[in-house]
Structure 1
Amino acid sequence: MWALRRAANPLRNQGHRIVAASACSAKSDISGGNPVSNEWNCEKDGCSSAGNMFLNSVSHGVSFTKMSILGTRSLSSHAGAKSSDSENDVEEGFSDLELAPETDKVGDSSDDLEDGLSEDELSVEGKDEGADHALGLLDAAKDTNVEKALNKKIGTSPLFKILMEAPRLSINSALDKWVEEGNALGRSEISTVILNLRKWKLYGKALQFAEWLETNKRLDFTERDYASYVDLIAKVHGIQRAEKYIEKIPKSLSGEVIYRTLLANCVAAGNIKKSEEVFNKIRDLGFPITTFAINQLLLLYKRVDRKKIADVLVLMEKENVKPSLFTYWLLIDTKGRANDISGMEQVVEKMKADGMEPDLNIQAMLAKHYIFGGLKEKAESMLKQMEGDDIKENRYACKSLLRLYADLGKAEDVERVWKVCQTHPSFSECLAAIDAWGKLDNVENAEKVFEDLMRTWKRRPSSKYYNALLKVYANHKLLSKGKELAKRMSDNGCRIGPLTWDALVKLYVESGEVEKADSILQKAAQQNQIKPLYSSYLTVLDQYAKRGDVHNAEKIFHRLKQIGYAGRMRQYQALLQAYINAKTPAYGFRDRMKADNMFPNKPVAAQLAAVDAFRKTQISELLD
């Protein structure tokens, strides 16, 4: 039995509410007679997951109801509260997901993908076991012919090529013509096209293709087909439209997979209230609580309110939901972010006791937390484990090692690992090398890797390789070089997306031209269907806050809410800092937060107290 952190009777005494504080009482006794381990420390950085996550003694006879576990009102009561004012590491520190699938060799056209997105734009799909089938159009694993089709390179599907080249308005006519000419359109071909469109993040075209299939009855939709349809609608048109479409799905095919897909999109959008509503809907409909659904909640609360992770763990144990490797990944990362290295290591030990060994991703994450926790020896030991006896045989570890050795400031080791890759590097290794040399302030070497990559690749280069070097220029305030690279990128016909905008915004901000960065961000949002990254807005907002420019800070804050980035404490902190630096009162700010269902954490409470000190009194007005 996986002994997860629990606080039993205090929950029952609160009726249908779960309050994070009650679940975090490290020294309190459970009235059932089993003491909670005093190793659990909930005060560290205000994070409920700090300390010993796994209790040796578990109380029984806990009374739970559907809504008491994850009731919308109770769980939203402190939505967005975070444990510290340094939460921007979610945007710029460790990414929950790899950006895009990588291939092994330079020159493989399948790697020419649109820019990957940050953690906040991506779902847990790629990390959780089984999620690839849950969110894919077809259950490819059940059909060996489909499996073979999925292994094709992107450029080998004639229909995919046609849809790639066709304008959005001509998609339907192109599909009609394909069928009229007698071409086959079975599940194998459909699966290849849809998955490749997804890889390119061409969700609009993928949705149009799915709509055509449904309208023309070219496919007998299964539950997983409908799940993919819902996923595409949510990505293109938003959660509300996806919910409306679910109502049209036949009841016999509207199962747990449909709602878990909706849940994943709610979490990816950072919509706390809707995520909780969908999770409760899954329970109300009598569907089983899966590891996937639990992981989605952990991912959500890891971002917006770590105190609630304890509540999810209680539910997980009560429902006897077994953790996956990604569950441990999330918990380990949460511990590391709270700088609770001891607790992080305890989770690793529990994972091993459950028969799961840390994979390369977890090892890399542990090493990074050791590095930023100042534990250099432990970090180096972990990197040696990742290397193994022969780094040439563990080539797959190179891209992580390049960045981590750079974080440690070990230029010699970066050079050594890069030599292993240099004769025949993969795209991901090139990106890692550019990033690593940039961290080591060796711009010349970063440029050399980039130019070698451009010479090797005969096809149109992907924008993400330009973005990697753009970030290096931004970090070193090389504005003129950044402008030249951006122009070269445009001249070469690269796809300009959120990561490019983010790099340009940072480039101009670091060079002191925040107004230009603001202008780039505004134009990008107006001219494109894809919204800029949350971190791009935060970069500009933070700069206005430093200046004490309340007017422009409020403008960026308003844009964040308009574009759908709501319910995050970080933007409230930045806006309050603008008022503090301007030495002006923020009238009604508490009421604004309350109206947005946001409740101050300790850092924000301190900021609110600071702006209260600027309030005008009768005496101060007379003296002024």
Structure 2
Amino acid sequence: MMWALRRAAHPLRSQGFRGGVSRACARFVIVSDDVEHSVGVCESTQFVPGKSIPLERFHHTSYLNARFSLGNCSLSSQAGTKSSGEEDEFSELEAPVSTGEIAEDAVGEDIDEELGSEPELSGDDVEENLGDVSHDEPEELDTDIGDEKESLKKKGYSELFKVIMDAPGLSIHGTLDKWVEEGNELSRSEIWLALHNLRKRQFYGRALQLMEWLERNKHLDYVERDYASRVDLIAKVHGLNKAEKYIESIPESFRGEVIYRTLLANCVGAGNMMKANAVFNKMKDLKFPITAFSCNQLLLLYKRLDKKKIADVLLLMEKENVQPTLFTYRLLIDAKGQSNDILGLDQLVETMKADGIEPDNQTQATIARHYADAGLNEKAEEVLKEMERGDVKENRSAFKFILPIYAALGKADEVSRVWKVCEQDPWFEECLAAISAWGKLGKIEEAESVFEMMTKKWKKVHRRCYSLLLKVYADHKMLAKGKELAKRMIDSGCRIDALTWDALVKLCVEAGEVEKADSILQKATQQFKTRPLFSSFMVVLDQYAKRGDVHNAEKILHRLRQSGYLNRIPQYHTLLQAYINAKAPAYGFRERLKADNIFPDKAMAAMLAQVDPFRKTAISDLLD
């Protein structure tokens, strides 16, 4: 089985990386952004001994999408703060929000908050991350905390959570003291349901205060998952250094693999590759087992940032006898699809099935989407029909994946057919998928109709609904409607998150209002203390580069770094294009690249030659 998967991972040697594979035990970096593999409260993955993964060198492809390329840089020129001087048409976004909300947003560091920046796999289609919301009500949550799972599902409501959310000011400790004095019981199920609700809404600061209060007042006997949850919250709120220091205070008997895995995931989430390397190597030094969880996270990271290193992870899995999971295959399949290697994708699917692992809806949707992207429409439709399994009414869980892919294929009739089944009693994620699908097909009225239906079905429309419809308006350059929807969102009391800012930025860019997009970015970071998505910065940077506006291009790159995003080749490619279009020399650019440990590829080397202030020309040779 292992050898078959290795061959599937690298079917065409002539197209791939021929160099030797680096050591399987290289010092890796792990990332975690998958709901299936959330950190802090999950148990260690169990494996089947005796099975390994014979994986040949993975096909090396071009560098990843710039959205996920993180690095570091030093500027060769100071980026100023010049503004356009125009009145921002989105000035309504200056409306005040609660201080608690600002405090919570200030610590958010997820690049793919919700529905958009990078779904678990593909990174381009927002609809691929629709599966983390409950079927019926956006505010209704599922939980999984062992033996209490069923009771929590039945309860579906946390009084403790309501008390915490209603607490005035930034501190909730006094409110919690009063609540307990009134005789309310603090069971573990109540505590974990409240924490789950807080995490789901990204109120990490309040969740951390709850954990601190519980420990200080001896209301909870901590076990390893409690400590891990606390590490995760500290890293999100106070940063990695504070989380590391807290780990030192954890009793040694509870300082296990889950604790360090939690820290490791946060290191990668923060883009701190050096610290992530150190944590992973610390785990190896402590003799923690190499798990499928950790290997899958490595694959997820390298799929995004450096595909040639996928081979290292696969060889490590083979060496450590780690069995591939469904998630392993899904990642490899998606990597093949991103590389336009459909033959390799097909061989991976065959190997997965031969290993006794059947693809789930999400994996099938990944396969179908890559077929569609490759122009293999018939094969994509075959997979979609298989997902429906003959009776679309009996497989509702597939709808949220099917709708956007039919739209990508231009099958408006199929979208209409599936949506007619859904709209009789629509689930929340199906509505989101429908908005996206109708938007792709250019059917704006249908997308708006789904949105309005949601406002009637649910008391409060989730911000993801607004973000999706804003994206539809941005894709079709409907600035006026986007402005109106943004005002409506604010009036409804929805929290403005990174996805919403991203939609607003792109809306302005598509309408040719680059300065307004730049202003919105500033507003997000300075007034609302939000970390905009990487793609939000890049779309503005790209526009300044096209204009040859070096000053503002440098400014955006500087703000990228200030927001915690590190610079890599894609950003520098775009910045160099600004210098080229401006016909301006780029002094010290090679030194900047060297300082960031970036080695120019052929394309960048050609660009550097064009902006080299000391380059030799035929005329300069004559003059010399």
Q: TM-score, normalised by structure 2?
A: 0.81
CA distance, structure 2, for counterparts of residue 177 and residue 495 of structure 1: 28
Check the 8 A contact 2:372/2:408 in 1, yes or no.
yes
Q: Residues 541, 369 of structure 1: CA spacing in aligned structure 2 closer, same or farther, 3 A cutoff? A: same
Which of 574-583 and 311-320 deviates more?
574-583
* Per-residue deviation, residues 327-357 of structure 1 (Å, max 9, x unmatched): 1111111111000111111111111121101
Equivalent residue for 2:124, pick from 86, 90, 93 = 93
CA distance, structure 1, for counterparts of residue 546 and residue 255 of structure 2: 50
Which of 402-411 and 343-352 deviates more?
343-352
Superposed CA RMSD in Å reads 3.0
**Match of 1:151?**
153
Paired residue secondary structure (1:314): helix
Q: Which runs of structure 2 are paired with 1:201-350 in the superposition (5 Å)?
A: 201-350=202-351
Equivalences, count: 541
Q: Which runs of structure 2 are paired with 1:466-485 in the superposition (5 Å)?
A: 466-485=466-485
Q: Which runs of structure 2 are paired with 1:528-543 in the superposition (5 Å)?
A: 528-543=528-543
Check the 8 A contact 2:298/2:313 in 1, yes or no.
yes
* Per-residue deviation, residues 587-611 of structure 1 (Å, max 9, x unmatched): 3223212212233344434433443
Q: Residues 86, 496 of structure 1: CA spacing in aligned structure 2 closer, same or farther, 3 A cutoff? A: closer
**Match of 1:559?**
559
Check the 8 A contact 2:586/2:613 in 1, yes or no.
no
Q: Check if 1:110 corresponds to 2:134.
A: no
Check the 8 A contact 1:82/1:569 in 2, yes or no.
no
- 1:471 shift after superposition: 0.7
Structure 2 gap ranges (5+): 30-59, 69-116
**Structure 2 counterpart of 1:147, one-letter code:** K
CA distance, structure 2, for counterparts of residue 198 and residue 161 of structure 1: 14
Check the 8 A contact 2:128/2:401 in 1, yes or no.
no
Q: Residues 336, 153 of structure 1: CA spacing in aligned structure 2 closer, same or farther, 3 A cutoff? A: farther
**Structure 1 counterpart of 2:482, one-letter code:** G
CA distance, structure 1, for counterparts of residue 18 and residue 580 of structure 2: 26
CA distance, structure 1, for counterparts of residue 15 and residue 560 of structure 2: 31
Paired residue secondary structure (1:201): coil
CA distance, structure 1, for counterparts of residue 614 and residue 168 of structure 2: 56
Check the 8 A contact 1:367/1:382 in 2, yes or no.
yes
Q: Which runs of structure 2 are paired with 1:34-183 in the superposition (5 Å)?
A: 39-41=11-13, 43-44=15-16, 69-70=26-27, 83-84=62-63, 87-88=66-67, 93-94=124-125, 98=129, 101-105=132-136, 107=137, 109-110=139-140, 140-141=145-146, 144=147, 146-152=148-154, 156-183=157-184
CA distance, structure 2, for counterparts of residue 37 and residue 501 of structure 1: 38
CA distance, structure 2, for counterparts of residue 253 and residue 440 of structure 1: 53
**Structure 2 counterpart of 1:174, one-letter code:** T
CA distance, structure 1, for counterparts of residue 64 and residue 314 of structure 2: 25
CA distance, structure 2, for counterparts of residue 331 and residue 569 of structure 1: 24
Check the 8 A contact 1:47/1:83 in 2, yes or no.
no
* Per-residue deviation, residues 498-545 of structure 1 (Å, max 9, x unmatched): 111011000101101111111111111112343111111111111111
* Per-residue deviation, residues 353-381 of structure 1 (Å, max 9, x unmatched): 21101110010001111111111111111
**Match of 1:570?**
570
Q: Which runs of structure 2 are paired with 1:354-503 in the superposition (5 Å)?
A: 354-457=355-458, 459-503=459-503
- 1:307 shift after superposition: 1.0
- 1:582 shift after superposition: 1.8
**Structure 1 counterpart of 2:139, one-letter code:** S
Return structure 1 stretches of 4+ with deviation > 6 angstroms: 46-49, 62-65
CA distance, structure 1, for counterparts of residue 461 and residue 570 of structure 2: 35
* Per-residue deviation, residues 386-428 of structure 1 (Å, max 9, x unmatched): 1111111112211211100100011111111111111111111
Q: Check if 1:596 corresponds to 2:596.
A: yes
Q: Residues 462, 84 of structure 1: CA spacing in aligned structure 2 closer, same or farther, 3 A cutoff? A: same
Check the 8 A contact 1:470/1:507 in 2, yes or no.
yes
**Structure 1 counterpart of 2:302, one-letter code:** Y
Structure 1 gap ranges (5+): 7-25, 27-35, 50-61, 73-80, 112-125, 127-131, 134-139
Paired residue secondary structure (1:468): helix
CA distance, structure 2, for counterparts of residue 37 and residue 428 of structure 1: 33
- 1:614 shift after superposition: 8.3
Which of 610-619 and 195-204 deviates more?
610-619
Which of 513-522 and 166-175 deviates more?
166-175
Check the 8 A contact 1:398/1:429 in 2, yes or no.
yes
Which of 547-556 and 234-243 deviates more?
234-243
**Structure 2 counterpart of 1:424, one-letter code:** D
- 1:47 shift after superposition: 10
- 1:431 shift after superposition: 1.0
CA distance, structure 2, for counterparts of residue 215 and residue 150 of structure 1: 25
**Match of 2:51?**
none
* Per-residue deviation, residues 6-48 of structure 1 (Å, max 9, x unmatched): 8xxxxxxxxxxxxxxxxxxx9xxxxxxxxx998442744x699
Paired residue secondary structure (2:392): coil
**Structure 2 counterpart of 1:557, one-letter code:** L
Q: TM-score, normalised by structure 1?
A: 0.81
Check the 8 A contact 1:430/1:449 in 2, yes or no.
yes
CA distance, structure 2, for counterparts of residue 169 and residue 210 of structure 1: 15
* Per-residue deviation, residues 78-99 of structure 1 (Å, max 9, x unmatched): xxx9724755598551469725
Check the 8 A contact 2:587/2:613 in 1, yes or no.
no
Paired residue secondary structure (2:505): helix
Check the 8 A contact 1:267/1:296 in 2, yes or no.
no
- 1:148 shift after superposition: 3.0
Q: Residues 225, 38 of structure 1: CA spacing in aligned structure 2 closer, same or farther, 3 A cutoff? A: closer
CA distance, structure 2, for counterparts of residue 199 and residue 270 of structure 1: 22
CA distance, structure 2, for counterparts of residue 566 and residue 323 of structure 1: 31
CA distance, structure 1, for counterparts of residue 160 and residue 388 of structure 2: 42
- 1:64 shift after superposition: 7.0
**Structure 2 counterpart of 1:439, one-letter code:** K
CA distance, structure 2, for counterparts of residue 558 and residue 309 of structure 1: 31
Q: Residues 477, 48 of structure 1: CA spacing in aligned structure 2 closer, same or farther, 3 A cutoff? A: farther
CA distance, structure 1, for counterparts of residue 438 and residue 140 of structure 2: 26
CA distance, structure 2, for counterparts of residue 291 and residue 616 of structure 1: 54
Q: Residues 37, 408 of structure 1: CA spacing in aligned structure 2 closer, same or farther, 3 A cutoff? A: closer
Paired residue secondary structure (2:482): helix
- 1:69 shift after superposition: 2.4
* Per-residue deviation, residues 217-265 of structure 1 (Å, max 9, x unmatched): 2211111111111111112222222112111111111111111111212
CA distance, structure 1, for counterparts of residue 10 and residue 532 of structure 2: 44
Q: Residues 48, 277 of structure 1: CA spacing in aligned structure 2 closer, same or farther, 3 A cutoff? A: farther
CA distance, structure 2, for counterparts of residue 473 and residue 96 of structure 1: 16
Q: Residues 366, 38 of structure 1: CA spacing in aligned structure 2 closer, same or farther, 3 A cutoff? A: closer
**Structure 1 counterpart of 2:452, one-letter code:** E
- 1:559 shift after superposition: 0.9
Paired residue secondary structure (2:288): coil
Check the 8 A contact 1:47/1:307 in 2, yes or no.
no
Q: Residues 195, 38 of structure 1: CA spacing in aligned structure 2 closer, same or farther, 3 A cutoff? A: closer
- 1:149 shift after superposition: 4.2
Q: Residues 278, 5 of structure 1: CA spacing in aligned structure 2 closer, same or farther, 3 A cutoff? A: farther
Paired residue secondary structure (1:167): coil
Which of 166-175 and 601-610 deviates more?
601-610
CA distance, structure 1, for counterparts of residue 383 and residue 332 of structure 2: 19
CA distance, structure 1, for counterparts of residue 272 and residue 19 of structure 2: 21
Check the 8 A contact 1:82/1:601 in 2, yes or no.
no
**Structure 2 counterpart of 1:320, one-letter code:** N
